[in-house]
Amino acid sequence: MMSTFRIGVCQMLVVKNKELNNSRARAMIKEAAAVGCRLVVLPEMFIQLPLQE
């Protein structure tokens, strides 16, 4: 028997404001969970300051 595992992949604009990045990520995670995702992947540097403008 095969089971289904839904994964959400979030793409977001990372800005210098960590709180804003966090807020956007949380909203995307909630949205993904609402449609059944059990794993959500965020950008690797979403919580850090961007290296370039």
What mean pLDDT do residues 9-38 have? 93
Q: Quick: pLDDT tens for 35-52.
A: 999 999 998 877 776 555
pLDDT at 50: 54
The first and second tokens of residue 5, run together, are 């595992």
Q: Between residues 9 and 51, which one has the greater pLDDT?
A: 9
pLDDT at 37: 97
Q: What is the pTM of this model?
A: 0.79
On the CB side of 17, CA atoms within 13 Å amount to 6
- Specify whether the CB–CB gap between 12 and 47 falls below 8 A: no
Tell whether the model's pLDDT for residue 18 goes beyond 90. no
Q: Between residues 15 and 30, which one has the greater pLDDT?
A: 30
